[in-house]
Amino acid sequence: MNLSKSKYTRFCQCPKMLWLDTYRPELAVQAPALQRRFQEGNEVGDLAMGLLGDFVETTAYTAEGKLDIAAMLKNTQKYIAEGKENICEAAFTKNGCYCAVDILHKTEGGYEIYEVKSSTDIHDVYLWDVAYQRWVLEQSGLKIVHTYIVYINNKYVRQGDIDVHKLFAVKDVSEEILPYYDEVAANTARAKEYIAQKDEPESKLGEQCFAPYECAYWQYCARELPSPNVLDLYRISAKKAFGYIEEGIVTFDDAIKSGISLNTTQWRQVEFELLQLPTHIDRLGIKRFLDTLWYPLYFLDFETFQTCIPMYDGIRPYQQVPFQYSLHYLERDGAKLEHKEFLADENSDPRRAIAERLVADIPTEACVLAYNMSFECTRLKELAETFPDLAEKLLAIRANVRDLLDVFRNGYVYDRAMEGSFSIKKVLPALFPNNPNLDYHNLADVHNGGEATDTYLALRSMEREERDKLRQSLLAYCKLDTMAMVMLWQRLREFCHI
């Protein structure tokens, strides 16, 4: 057995990916959120099992805790022979091609395949996947009359127990998979040849390195690309950048010489890099921005989590749920910098508690500075919609939010170390190089928003000592986010000699 549905779809994305999986898996650099996505996918799969009514499940494990494929294949045949209507994880293998169907449903004249996804949209890669399953099952002698994708209905709002019939949407993709189905036989044959080949295959970098999934081998395959290169240009699409690379336009120097069209931000990025220009400071622009702020001045940053399966009533799939904030503030010019913070209890819906603390902590007349304010403003608006009794104050806070990002997005300050990005994680080290107090790498346990989410969601299953330690790490991380804003604001004032 040497091809599975995930191996097949990886081959379809890029044949070399399958080869590296087989011979050089140690070269993969996995995205940090992958483990969480994988776990969430399993939870969604478990929940969907009952979608079509009573079911049997083939899943079996060896004594070492690994999936027992042989037992699953055997269980599947047994359940088919018994005429079971819904078989979950129905396993099949034929000529070295294996797959387990999320739900195999017996119907008039044959079987239906239901493939469950934790996404809110249907992507082409799912069609490759379902086409492969249909092919393997038909090769195994089953008649497949329909194929479906079960995905997440993002309009669903939880009330009480999860209603699987509302959480999931089902789409008949029997017609849509046909072009993909026609390619399965040839693709599986080629994939097996790739797996059998010992020498590393050649492969050109291209859009497939980022879509449908970001490839974990990018650092390895792109090791000879010079840095910076056209892929680093501010907000350039992968399609455009790989098109340039194909034409031999790789470096910033190539970009200038070839006369390709660049927007203002990209021009600035290239110019500063090639001419090694010092930090650009537009004092007039900065002063205009600073003049829009007033005291008391608050610096606000939220941390949020999103889960596919809503954890609490009134929440949609993948809704951003705030669980923590940090606030630095100055009552007046020259006043001592103060700090407040909030981190919700991990065992209940954090929204009411965070909303109550926000309105208690932030005066409605205060100026509130955020970095990329649309995120904070949307959370405040959602909290106001959820808690009408607090809406007036929450919306007053929201109306007073100003965006520190504007200074950098508008080009009032630019340093080539920002590499064309306005993210605070790029701007901060560019304006405060070698400052260990502002270096997220020096924090314990939690270094970015993704880790903050993972840590908060994991707290509930921890022993007290570990939980208390990680709650401190969460507080330290969020506090650095608002401290970073304070430092940037102070640096802007210094630029203007205030």
Smaller CB separation from ligand SF4, 17 or 488: 17
Binding of ligand SF4 by 217 (CB under 6 A): yes
Element (H, E) at 134: helix 124-139
Return the structure tokens found at 454. 């993972």
447, 440 in Cβ contact below 8 A? yes
Binding of ligand SF4 by 191 (CB under 6 A): no
Task: Give the interface segment with ligand SF4, choosing from 44-52, 134-142, 205-213, 242-250 (CB under 6 A).
Answer: 205-213
Closest contact distance (angstroms) between CB of 8 and ligand SF4 is 15
Q: Which residues pair with 57 in a beta bridge?
A: 88
Residue 135 corresponds to which amino acid?
W
Smaller CB separation from ligand SF4, 220 or 295: 220
Binding of ligand SF4 by 17 (CB under 6 A): yes
Distance CA 172, CA 130 (A): 11
Return the structure tokens found at 28. 């993969």
176-212 as b/e: b if 16+ CB within 10 A: bbeebbeebeebbeebbebbeeeeeeebebeebbbee
Return the structure tokens found at 286. 């900065």
| Selected binder of ligand SF4 within 218, 267, 295, 432 (CB under 6 A) | 218
Smaller CB separation from ligand SF4, 203 or 386: 203
Closest contact distance (angstroms) between CB of 1 and ligand SF4 is 23
Return the structure tokens found at 147. 């194929």
Backbone angles phi, psi at 143, to 5 degrees: -95, 120
Smaller CB separation from ligand SF4, 203 or 306: 203
Closest contact distance (angstroms) between CB of 209 and ligand SF4 is 3
Return the structure tokens found at 497. 């000699």
Binding of ligand SF4 by 7 (CB under 6 A): no
Distance CA 412, CA 291 (A): 14
Smaller CB separation from ligand SF4, 221 or 397: 221
Closest contact distance (angstroms) between CB of 128 and ligand SF4 is 15
255, 240 in Cβ contact below 8 A? no
Task: Give the interface segment with ligand SF4, choosing from 78-86, 152-160, 213-221, 380-388 (CB under 6 A).
Answer: 213-221
Task: Give the interface segment with ligand SF4, choosing from 9-17, 62-70, 126-134, 418-426 (CB under 6 A).
Answer: 9-17
Residue 141, number of CB atoms within 10 A of its CB = 9
Closest contact distance (angstroms) between CB of 203 and ligand SF4 is 4
Residue 65 corresponds to which amino acid?
G
Smaller CB separation from ligand SF4, 218 or 387: 218
Closest contact distance (angstroms) between CB of 476 and ligand SF4 is 35
Closest contact distance (angstroms) between CB of 210 and ligand SF4 is 8
Angle at 424 between CA 421 and CA 430, to 5 degrees: 70
Task: Give the interface segment with ligand SF4, choosing from 210-218, 224-232, 364-372, 381-389 (CB under 6 A).
Answer: 210-218
**What residues contact 348, with CB distance under 8 A and at least 6 apart?**
312
Long-range contacts of 79-83 (CB under 8 A, 24+ apart): none
Closest contact distance (angstroms) between CB of 481 and ligand SF4 is 32
Smaller CB separation from ligand SF4, 179 or 212: 212
Task: Give the interface segment with ligand SF4, choosing from 15-23, 288-296, 371-379, 435-443 (CB under 6 A).
Answer: 15-23
Binding of ligand SF4 by 205 (CB under 6 A): yes
Smaller CB separation from ligand SF4, 21 or 115: 21
Q: What is the CA radius of gyration of the chain?
A: 27
The closest alpha carbon to 492, from 365, 385, 373, 402, belongs to 402
Closest contact distance (angstroms) between CB of 20 and ligand SF4 is 6
Return the structure tokens found at 101. 């169907």
Smaller CB separation from ligand SF4, 215 or 428: 215
Smaller CB separation from ligand SF4, 202 or 463: 202
Closest contact distance (angstroms) between CB of 129 and ligand SF4 is 17
299, 486 in Cβ contact below 8 A? yes
Binding of ligand SF4 by 432 (CB under 6 A): no
Place of tokens 């994988």: 38
Return the structure tokens found at 436. 């260990």
Binding of ligand SF4 by 209 (CB under 6 A): yes
Task: Give the interface segment with ligand SF4, choosing from 166-174, 181-189, 203-211, 435-443 (CB under 6 A).
Answer: 203-211
Binding of ligand SF4 by 203 (CB under 6 A): yes
- Give the helix, strand, coil percentages of the chain, each rounded to 5: 45, 15, 35
Please compute, for residue 108, the number of CA atoms within 13 A of its CA located in the half-sphere on the CB side: 0
Return the structure tokens found at 138. 């038909």
Smaller CB separation from ligand SF4, 218 or 375: 218
Closest contact distance (angstroms) between CB of 239 and ligand SF4 is 14
Backbone angles phi, psi at 399, to 5 degrees: -65, -20
| Chain residues in the site for ligand SF4 (CB under 6 A) | 14, 16-17, 20, 203, 205, 208-209, 215, 217-218, 221
